[in-house]
Amino acid sequence: MKRFIVLLSSWFYTGYIPLAPGTFGSLAGVPLCYLVSRLHPFFGLVFVGGFVSLSIWVADRAETLFQEKDSSTIVIDEVAGITVSLFLIPFNLVQLVLGFLLFRGFDILKPFPIRLIDSRVPAGLGIVLDDVIAGLYANIALRAILLSS
């Protein structure tokens, strides 16, 4: 079970990249975003909801396993966040790059209530929820950009 938690929480060991593991974790989540984009919206929603739930469970176990609060090795939260960022957005290079940059920006800057959640919500839920909200912000911002162009 420990190997499974390490494998998923680090998103197939991407979290062990020493420089910017969150950015590389987000990039490593792009193939999953593509697969979700191929699903019917209902099944995509079910999948994303299930993946977020799995991410919370895995991040919670990984935090205990690594004995470190919100370890930078845990990047499954970034994968969940980028998946939310690109959910129901047409999958092409322009939207992918914009969605990625918006997600990373919101994840790094942590506008309200992301910073509050990051600091006050414990364990797996706190690890994943701030990225999911950053993903929601990115998704909304990307939709606004696409509507205005």
Domain count, the chain: 1
- Return all residues near 133 (Cβ < 8 A) that are at least 6 apart: 113, 114, 117
Q: Which whole number is the average pLDDT over 121-149?
A: 95
Predicted TM-score (pTM) of the model is 0.95
pLDDT at position 119 over 90: no
The range of the structural domain enclosing residue 133 comes to 2-13+20-148
Digit-coded pLDDT (tens) for 37-95:
999 999 999 999 999 999 999 999 999 999 988 899 999 999 999 999 999 999 999 99
Percent of the chain with pLDDT over 90: 95
| Mean pLDDT over the full length of the chain | 96
